[in-house]
A and B are shown apart, each in its own frame.
Chain A
Amino acid sequence: MEEVDKIILHSLSGVGCEFADEIFSLKEMTTENVVEGAVKCIRIVNDDFKMSPVFPPGMSARFRVGTSIAQACQNLGYRGEIGYQTLLYSSEVDVRKLFMFLVEKLPRKEGIKEDTGSASVLQRRIGQVLREQGSKLWLPSYCFAPHSNFVPFRTQTLTIPKYQKDKETTTPYVHQQISDSNFFIPSLLELNVKQYHTTSKQPSSKTKQNVSRESYQWKQQSLLQEKIPLTSSFDDVIRLVSGEGEQSKQSRFVHTQKLQTVQTLPNLTNSRPIIPRKPQHLQSSNYGKDQEQNVNKQNHNEAIHENHVEKIKEVELSDEQRFEETESKLLEEIERKETECVKYQKKMQKMETSIKQMKIEIGELEVSTEEAEKKIVVQQKTCQLLPNAEENMEKLQKLIEKNQQRIVSLGKMWEERRLPMINEIKEFKEKTELSEDNTEIKLEEIKLIRKRMKEATEETKRKEQMIKQLSTELESMKRDISRQSYTKRIHEIVSSIHKQQEEIGRVISEIKDVQKQINKMKGRIDRTFTAVDEVMFKDARKNENIRQAYKYLVSLHDGCTELLRTVEETGAILREVRELEDQIDTESQKNAEENLKKIMKDYKEIKRENAEMIKAIRKQ
């Protein structure tokens, strides 16, 4: 029975009964536990059954709860005897029977749907990490390396220098833009999130879901209204929004972008002016110290001030006058110089434009002179030909004719060459088009394959994770119920039953043998008696002694049969007695009498409670 109890308790703890983890057999269950377990089981099997698993203290309420549970069990198809007393005054056997029935009715876990939502994946991952951490061996703290100090999440605006052709960037390396090395990692993280947010115009859907829509919209609105530049650092934003302004040091927020979106800042108003960014020299962390020093200096100065008020006043007056005079002079001079400067600049611009115009004109003139030179050369040649004009004319005409003929022949040859060339060009064009098409198709294919590859790898990753998780689950299952041991136990039980059956068979055959012997003996006795009876009956008439003997024989026979019958009867009665004893045992196990007494007591209690209630009602 131990195994059965274990299984029942295990499934009860699976249903959500915490007491099941602390006890080891059904014997230890209290009435409250029985009721709680039964109610929880029935709730799972039957969704409509709604009852609190907490057992009420009042007798009549208890009775009601007990009977409704019993009714529910019967509705589910429980065949055994069940009433409220089974639950309230539970005997181990009844409880075991009841729970065996209920546990069997519980739905199996096999059909659990696989949930792939991001939330449940996250939850599972958390669970996994917790499991890993939980299975680690505990070590005292001095076994670990001492924790180095934590770095606060303070940031500074970074820019990644950009490469442009023909231009050298002046921005230094990223790590050189940082004033304190502790700011480096947070600043990089912030930079990444910021760029990610601005480059992907739609904010990633995941964060959007997690943050409530209102707060998100609020944030967007406030961003627009306040015109906080998107390139400003996280610290700047916080400073702007919180309104602390110049006094605040750099904020120490631990969380990154999440906080930015989730944070609610009730004191924010739309009309808040934009506070200019803190100058660089104030951002350093020892700003506070500087201020203190300044204050100290001022105090000191004041002290001196008081001591030498009058002296200083005199000096100050003359000094101030002198300063003002020189200042006004200098200012005037500066203004004059500035106006001059502007004038000269304008002049410079004018000169530059005129220079450009001149250059253009020069270019044009050069072109025209070249043309003129060419014309002059041609005219000189014609002048040379003039003296014997006719001869030269003929020569020239012949030359022209020759050239014309040559042009025609060359044209023919060109045509001959051209045709195959054109065809070739066409072919090549077609080929290139085809190959371009092919490459495009191939590129698309490659893209598709890439995509598929990614999907597949992600899929495998997910599956592997699932396998890991399932295998760990399997391991944890094995600890609870080892199937093998149960089958072994069942095999043992079956074999012992077989043995018992054999034993029973042997006993039965023995009994049959004995009965056969008895029957044989009986037959022999009967036969001998009839034989003796015949012989003696014949002689009985002649001899008085034999007659007497015959009489004795008959009486002996009668006595023997009587004896036999009584023996058989006692046997039957003994059997009956044994059966009755068994019955008494089973009945007494149910301790019906006690239960009846209890039920009577309950009945009286309920009556009393009812009477009290009636009294109370009447009083009202």
Chain B
Amino acid sequence: MDIVPKSVIEGLRLCGDDKLISGKAFEIIIEHACQTVLGNIAQNNEPDLSKENTNLSVAKQCHGSVTVLMLEAAKHDLQEEQLGMILDDCGLPQKQKEAFAFSYNHYKEDLRDKLSKVGRHAPNLVDVEWRLDYNLKNNRINKVNELQYTISLKQDNGEQVDLVCTRDELQDLVGKLKEASKALERASQI
């Protein structure tokens, strides 16, 4: 698994050095990184490292690297062993590794949820309302006698799509939908 650039790995390698950054500080940084990605922390907030004996610039680099790795790992849906391998490459000691893995497992679903909200998304179809009209006549033709379906598709963003069609067109639509669902089924059987 090769998902993060060398610069990130180097950043994490610094975290393995106890002289530069203590284990406790590392944990604080991980927690802070996760919370910032999830948007639970105000932007000007900094990790509280006043009690720890830590080089501030190391903490900054470490924070950046941890954030990137956390996000990438969640994006690729890595299992714990795969993540462990990457952390091994960074040469993290056991305790730091465990702390990272624990946070990853804890926040993975939230992170993936957050990631899924990035970008655009077609609205989902939520409900359908329909009406069948019988068109008797109009000002030009005395005898029309046609069926007319009015269908409104409701979307989850509150908007709706209205369409009017004849019986044949509706049948065509239903056929197309069936085709689509069959295609999906076939794709799932590979």
User: What residues of chain A lie closer than 8 Å to B8, measured between beta carbons?
Assistant: 160, 192, 195
Q: Mark A109-129, 1 if CB is under 8 A from B, else 0.
A: 000000000000001101110
**Quick one: which of B69-89 are within 8 Å of A by CB?**
71-72, 75, 79, 81-82, 85, 88
- Known A141-B124, A188-B71: A152·B119 in contact at CB below 8 Å: yes
- Partner-binding segment picked from B58-66, B129-137, B167-175: B58-66
Q: Is B46 interfacial (CB-CB < 8 Å)?
A: yes
Q: Mark A155-172, 1 if CB is under 8 A from B, else 0.
A: 000101111100111011
Query: What's the least CB distance linking A198 to chain B, in Å?
Result: 8
Q: Which one of A123, A152, A195 contacts B5 once the chains associate, using CB atoms below 8 Å?
A: A195
Query: What's the least CB distance linking B138 to chain A, in Å?
Result: 38
Q: Are B60 and A175 in contact (CB under 8 A)?
A: no
**Quick one: which of A157-199 are within 8 Å of B by CB?**
158, 160-164, 167-169, 171-176, 178, 181, 184-186, 188-189, 191-192, 195-196, 198-199
Q: Is B96 interfacial (CB-CB < 8 Å)?
A: no
Q: Are B4 and A192 in contact (CB under 8 A)?
A: yes
Q: Are B6 and A168 in contact (CB under 8 A)?
A: no
Q: Is A147 interfacial (CB-CB < 8 Å)?
A: yes
User: What residues of chain A lie closer than 8 Å to B85, measured between beta carbons?
Assistant: 454, 457
Q: Mark B86-129, 1 if CB is under 8 A from A, else 0.
A: 00100000000000000000000000001101111100101100
Q: Are A254 and B119 in contact (CB under 8 A)?
A: yes
Q: Are A147 and B188 in contact (CB under 8 A)?
A: no
Query: What's the least CB distance linking A91 to chain B, in Å?
Result: 32
Q: Mark B6-33, 1 if CB is under 8 A from A, else 0.
A: 1110010010000010000000000000
Q: Are A160 and B56 in contact (CB under 8 A)?
A: no
**Quick one: which of B136-185 are within 8 Å of A by CB?**
156, 184-185
Q: For the complex, what is the distance from the CA of A442 to the CA of B44, rounded to whole Å?
A: 48
Q: Which one of A152, A158, A160 contacts B61 once the chains associate, using CB atoms below 8 Å?
A: A160
Q: For the complex, what is the distance from the CA of A178 to the CA of B36, rounded to whole Å?
A: 12
Q: Which one of A151, A158, A171, A175 contacts B118 once the chains associate, using CB atoms below 8 Å?
A: A151
Q: For the complex, what is the distance from the CA of A359 to the CA of B187, rounded to whole Å?
A: 84
Q: For the complex, what is the distance from the CA of A158 to the CA of B71, rounded to whole Å?
A: 15
Q: Are B114 and A199 in contact (CB under 8 A)?
A: no
User: What residues of chain A lie closer than 8 Å to B6, measured between beta carbons?
Assistant: 199
Q: Is B50 interfacial (CB-CB < 8 Å)?
A: no
Query: What's the least CB distance linking B83 to chain A, in Å?
Result: 12
Q: Are B5 and A200 in contact (CB under 8 A)?
A: yes
Q: For the complex, what is the distance from the CA of A412 to the CA of B102, rounded to whole Å?
A: 69
User: What residues of chain B lie closer than 8 Å to A176, measured between beta carbons?
Assistant: 43-44, 46
User: What residues of chain A lie closer than 8 Å to B118, measured between beta carbons?
Assistant: 150-151, 153, 185-186, 189
User: What residues of chain B lie closer than 8 Å to A181, measured between beta carbons?
Assistant: 39, 43
Q: Is A134 interfacial (CB-CB < 8 Å)?
A: yes
Q: Are A127 and B187 in contact (CB under 8 A)?
A: yes
Q: For the complex, what is the distance from the CA of A173 to the CA of B65, rounded to whole Å?
A: 11
Q: Are B64 and A185 in contact (CB under 8 A)?
A: no
- Known A147-B156, A192-B5, A199-B5: A169·B57 in contact at CB below 8 Å: yes
User: What residues of chain A lie closer than 8 Å to B190, measured between beta carbons?
Assistant: 123-124, 126-127
User: What residues of chain A lie closer than 8 Å to B126, measured between beta carbons?
Assistant: 140-141
User: What residues of chain A lie closer than 8 Å to B156, measured between beta carbons?
Assistant: 141, 147
Query: What's the least CB distance linking A79 to chain B, in Å?
Result: 36
Q: Which one of B47, B65, B120 contacts A160 once the chains associate, using CB atoms below 8 Å?
A: B65
**Quick one: which of A123-145 are within 8 Å of B by CB?**
123-124, 126-128, 130-131, 134, 140-141
Q: Is A461 interfacial (CB-CB < 8 Å)?
A: yes
**Quick one: which of A435-468 are within 8 Å of B by CB?**
450, 454, 457, 461
Q: Are A161 and B119 in contact (CB under 8 A)?
A: no
Q: For the complex, what is the distance from the CA of A216 to the CA of B135, rounded to whole Å?
A: 58
Q: Is A328 interfacial (CB-CB < 8 Å)?
A: no
User: What residues of chain B lie closer than 8 Å to A134, measured between beta carbons?
Assistant: 184-185, 188
**Chain A contact residues (Cβ within 8 angstroms of B): what range?**
35 or more
Q: For the complex, what is the distance from the CA of A161 to the CA of B46, rounded to whole Å?
A: 14
Q: Are A160 and B11 in contact (CB under 8 A)?
A: yes
Q: Is A270 interfacial (CB-CB < 8 Å)?
A: no
User: What residues of chain A lie closer than 8 Å to B57, measured between beta carbons?
Assistant: 161-164, 167-169
Query: What's the least CB distance linking A125 to chain B, in Å?
Result: 10
Q: Are B187 and A161 in contact (CB under 8 A)?
A: no
Query: What's the least CB distance linking B47 to chain A, in Å?
Result: 8
Query: What's the least CB distance linking A518 to chain B, in Å?
Result: 69
Query: What's the least CB distance linking A131 to chain B, in Å?
Result: 5
- Known A141-B124, A161-B61, A176-B44: A130·B4 in contact at CB below 8 Å: no
User: What residues of chain B lie closer than 8 Å to A188, measured between beta carbons?
Assistant: 37, 67-68, 71
Q: Are B81 and A457 in contact (CB under 8 A)?
A: yes
Query: What's the least CB distance linking A406 to chain B, in Å?
Result: 51
Query: What's the least CB distance linking A61 to chain B, in Å?
Result: 28
Q: For the complex, what is the distance from the CA of A151 to the CA of B156, rounded to whole Å?
A: 17
Q: Is A476 interfacial (CB-CB < 8 Å)?
A: yes
User: What residues of chain B lie closer than 8 Å to A172, measured between beta carbons?
Assistant: 60
Query: What's the least CB distance linking B91 to chain A, in Å?
Result: 12
**Quick one: which of A195-253 are within 8 Å of B by CB?**
195-196, 198-200, 252
For A196, A198, A255, A450, the residue with the greatest tally of chain B CB atoms inside 10 Å of its CB is A196
Q: Which one of B43, B55, B119 contacts A175 once the chains associate, using CB atoms below 8 Å?
A: B43
For B56, B68, B126, B184, the residue with the greatest tally of chain A CB atoms inside 10 Å of its CB is B68
User: What residues of chain B lie closer than 8 Å to A267, measured between beta carbons?
Assistant: none
- Known A152-B120, A186-B118, A192-B72: A173·B5 in contact at CB below 8 Å: no
Q: For the complex, what is the distance from the CA of A346 to the CA of B6, rounded to whole Å?
A: 45
Q: For the complex, what is the distance from the CA of A175 to the CA of B55, rounded to whole Å?
A: 19
Q: For the complex, what is the distance from the CA of A29 to the CA of B95, rounded to whole Å?
A: 69
Q: Are B188 and A185 in contact (CB under 8 A)?
A: no
Q: Is A148 interfacial (CB-CB < 8 Å)?
A: yes
Q: For the complex, what is the distance from the CA of A141 to the CA of B156, rounded to whole Å?
A: 8
Q: Are B119 and A173 in contact (CB under 8 A)?
A: no
Q: Mark A562-595, 1 if CB is under 8 A from B, else 0.
A: 0000000000000000000000000000000000
Ordered nearest first, which 8 A-B pairs have the shortest CB separation?
A160-B64, A130-B188, A195-B5, A161-B60, A127-B190, A254-B119, A169-B57, A141-B126
**Told that A174-B64, A184-B36 touch, could you supply 4 new A-B pairs with CB distance under 8 A?**
A127-B188, A192-B68, A254-B119, A457-B85
Interface pairs (13), CB distance under 8 Å: A127-B190, A150-B117, A160-B64, A161-B61, A163-B55, A175-B41, A178-B43, A185-B37, A189-B72, A195-B5, A196-B4, A254-B119, A476-B189
